[in-house]
């Protein structure tokens, strides 16, 4: 009896993906314990958030993709509306307007967009299935530009890049022509000086310092220099858990959030790094397999985009810690301290599982 209930409750979970996620989250708690200066309160706070996020994942895994498809347009519209609300009435924190105070709770509508935008675009392409033309990509581009522009204005460069990427992935997977892609890349290169002009001062400074961290060794460049020392001194096998001198001696800033990978790399070395990349690789592989077997165009596009977005988070964060990408505020997925991005990620994985549960049993 108990077993039956348990079985039904667990049925929407893809055991393989679930296993990989739980393994990564466990690792995350270990690293966090070290990064937070062995502060158990912080670890248990994050564990609570993980449990909550798993619950949310379960909810989405239970939701049939067809329902998600129906919700795509309303969610997108709601998201845009909230973003406009933020632009007009949002709270300002650290010079950026990102939060909306609804009286009962404060929400960050850009988080909603991370899911709603790929859903919307997948919905749109699914609707145009089999009659897809170039004009549809133009429409998609507008649907994409609207929220990205609003978030860029907040200003939140990191999030707008990530959301823009997730939408772009849908378009790419839907068959955006190569010629157009190359054309866009060239146009982008041509527009770069103009965009440079539009960036906020602090964003420009970040990019300048990326190419030369020594320019600001006490300010923004400090992160990059100290993270480099932490990683490099980790060596092949690492200094061992809780043994990272850089991490434990307060040299590393933001070491439990955006720069947690530096702690990981210092204490577990190249071996640990490879292990983490493998874990992420398997998660991506499993996600791609699910996307491949998706039974409708909507499911395939959405699942594919979610997998690529997960990859992008991991790549951008690690690239930033390793000093090959600019310091944009992107956390390391599943590992960094914080609940908001975790919940959003797990919603994505919930959707993947839902797609998985709904797959065709016979391959076509």
Partner 1 sequence: MRPYSELKNTRREQHDFRVRLFIALVFMLAGFGILLARLAWLQVVQYEHYHTLAESNRISLVPIPPSRGLILDRNGVVLAHSYFVYTLEVTPARVADLERTLRQLGELMEISPGDLRRFHRLRRESHEFEGVLLRSNLNELEAARFAVNRYRFPGVEIRSRMLRHYPHGPLGAHLIGYIGRINNEDVRRLQEGGEYANYLGTGHIGKTGIEQYYERRLHGRTGIQQVEINADGHAVRVLSSTPPIPGDDLILSVDIRLQEVAERAFAGRRGALVAISPTNGEVLAFVSQPSFDPNLFVDGIDTENWKALNESLDKPLVNRPLRGIYPPGSTFKPFVALAGLEAGKRVPPFAIQDHGFFTLPGHNHRFRDWKPQGHGIVDMRKAITVSCDTFFYGLAQELGIGPMTDFVRHFGFGKKTGIDINGELEGLLPTPEWKRRRFKQPWFPGETLIVGIGQGYTLATPMQLAQATAILANNGVAMRPHLVAAIRDSRSGTRHPVPLEVVDRVTVNPRNAELVKEAMLDVTRPGGTAVSVGAGAPYGVAAKTGTSQVIGIKQGEKYDASKIDERHRDHALFIAYAPAEAPTIAVALIVENGGSGGATAGPIARKVMDYYLLGKTPEDQATPTASRADPATDRRTPP
Packing angle of the helix pair 109-127, 297-321 (nearest 10 deg): 140
d(CA 222, CA 214): 8
Tokens 């077993």 locate to 3
Q: Is residue 362 within the footprint of partner 1 (CB under 8 A)?
A: no
Inter-residue long-range contacts of 228-236, CB under 8 Å, 24+ positions, other chains counted: 228/322, 228/323, 230/262, 230/263, 230/265, 230/266, 231/262, 231/265, 231/266, 231/321, 231/322, 233/266, 234/265, 234/266, 234/267, 234/268, 234/269, 234/270, 234/272, 235/269, 235/270, 236/269, 236/270, 236/271
d(CA 104, CA 111): 18
CA angle 35, 37, 42 (to 5 degrees): 80
d(CA 339, CA 52): 9
Q: Which is nearer to partner 1, 107 or 275 (CB)?
A: 275
With residues binned 3-state (H G I as helix, E B as strand, rest as coil), the percentages for the chain, rounded to 5, are 70, 5, 25
In sequence order, the 6+-apart residues with CB closer than 8 A to the CB of 120 are 72, 73, 75, 76, 143
Which residue from 19, 55, 188, 235 is in contact with partner 1, where contact means CB under 8 A?
A: 235
Which residue from 90, 164, 234, 350 is in contact with partner 1, where contact means CB under 8 A?
A: 234
- The answer to whether residues 227 and 326 touch, using CB atoms and an 8 Å cutoff, is no
d(CA 120, CA 124): 6
Which residue from 273, 326, 333, 350 is in contact with partner 1, where contact means CB under 8 A?
A: 273
Contact string 175-204 vs partner 1 (x = CB under 8 A): x--------------------------x--
Q: What is the DSSP letter of 99?
A: E
Which residue from 322, 329, 339, 340 is in contact with partner 1, where contact means CB under 8 A?
A: 322
Calculate the alpha carbon distances from 5 to 9, 193, 208, 211, 350 in Å: 6, 60, 57, 56, 20
Q: Which stretch binds partner 1 (CB under 8 A): 39-47, 62-70, 81-89, 231-239?
A: 231-239
Q: Is residue 315 within the footprint of partner 1 (CB under 8 A)?
A: yes
Q: Is residue 222 within the footprint of partner 1 (CB under 8 A)?
A: yes
- Smallest distance, partner 1 to C-beta of residue 167, A: 15
Q: Which is nearer to partner 1, 110 or 246 (CB)?
A: 246
- Smallest distance, partner 1 to C-beta of residue 31, A: 16
Q: Is residue 236 within the footprint of partner 1 (CB under 8 A)?
A: yes
Q: Which is nearer to partner 1, 46 or 309 (CB)?
A: 309
- Smallest distance, partner 1 to C-beta of residue 170, A: 11
- Smallest distance, partner 1 to C-beta of residue 297, A: 7
Q: Is residue 37 within the footprint of partner 1 (CB under 8 A)?
A: no
Q: Is residue 243 within the footprint of partner 1 (CB under 8 A)?
A: no
Interaction with partner 1 in 80-139: which residues (CB under 8 A)?
94-95, 129-132
Q: Is residue 319 within the footprint of partner 1 (CB under 8 A)?
A: yes
Which residue from 284, 339, 357, 359 is in contact with partner 1, where contact means CB under 8 A?
A: 284
Q: Which is nearer to partner 1, 9 or 271 (CB)?
A: 271
Q: DSSP letters of 337-362?
A: S-SHHHHHHHHHHHHHHHHHHT--SS
Q: Is residue 282 within the footprint of partner 1 (CB under 8 A)?
A: no
Interaction with partner 1 in 139-178: which residues (CB under 8 A)?
169, 172-175
Q: Which stretch binds partner 1 (CB under 8 A): 31-39, 65-73, 134-142, 302-310?
A: 302-310
* Count of residues of this chain found to bind partner 1 when the rule CB under 8 A is applied: 55
d(CA 364, CA 154): 46
- Smallest distance, partner 1 to C-beta of residue 364, A: 8
d(CA 110, CA 342): 14
Site of interaction with partner 1 (CB under 8 A): 94-95, 129-132, 169, 172-175, 202, 214, 216-219, 222, 228-236, 245-246, 265, 269-270, 273-274, 277, 280-281, 284-285, 288, 291-292, 297, 300-301, 304, 307-308, 311, 315, 318-319, 322, 324, 364
């Amino acid at each position: 009896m108990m077993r039956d209930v348990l079985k039904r409750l667990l049925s929407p979970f893809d055991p393989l993906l679930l296993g990989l996620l739980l393994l990564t989250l466990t690792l995350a708690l270990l690293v966090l314990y070290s990064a937070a200066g062995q502060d158990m309160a912080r670890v248990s706070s994050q564990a609570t958030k993980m449990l909550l996020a798993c619950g949310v994942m379960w909810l989405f895994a239970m939701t049939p993709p067809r329902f998600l498809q129906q919700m795509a347009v309303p969610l997108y519209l709601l998201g845009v509306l909230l973003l406009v609300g933020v632009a007009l009435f949002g709270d300002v924190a650290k010079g950026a307007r990102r939060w909306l105070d609804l009286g009962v709770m404060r929400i960050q509508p850009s988080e909603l967009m991370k899911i709603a935008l790929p859903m919307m675009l997948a919905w749109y392409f699914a609707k145009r299935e089999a009659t897809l033309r170039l004009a549809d990509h133009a429409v998609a581009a507008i649907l994409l530009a609207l929220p990205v522009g609003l978030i860029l204005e907040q200003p939140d460069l990191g999030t707008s890049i990530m959301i823009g990427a997730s939408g772009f992935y849908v378009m790419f997977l839907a068959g955006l022509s190569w010629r157009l892609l190359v054309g866009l890349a060239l146009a982008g290169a041509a527009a770069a000086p103009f965009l440079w002009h539009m960036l906020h001062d602090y964003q420009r400074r970040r990019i300048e310092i990326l190419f030369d961290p020594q320019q600001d060794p006490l300010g923004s460049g400090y992160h990059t220099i100290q993270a480099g020392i932490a990683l490099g001194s980790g060596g092949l096998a690492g200094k061992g858990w809780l043994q990272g001198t850089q991490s434990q001696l307060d040299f590393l800033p933001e070491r439990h959030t955006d720069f947690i990978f530096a702690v990981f790399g210092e204490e577990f070395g190249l071996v640990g790094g490879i292990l983490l990349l493998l874990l992420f690789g398997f998660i991506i592989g499993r996600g791609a397999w699910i996307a491949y077997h998706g039974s409708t165009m909507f499911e395939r596009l959405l699942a594919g985009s979610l997998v690529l977005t997960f990859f992008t988070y991991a790549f951008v964060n690690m690239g930033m810690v390793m000093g090959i990408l600019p310091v944009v505020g992107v956390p390391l997925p599943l590992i960094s301290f914080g609940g908001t991005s975790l919940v959003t990620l797990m919603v994505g994985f919930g959707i993947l599982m839902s797609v998985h549960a709904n797959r065709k049993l016979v391959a076509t």
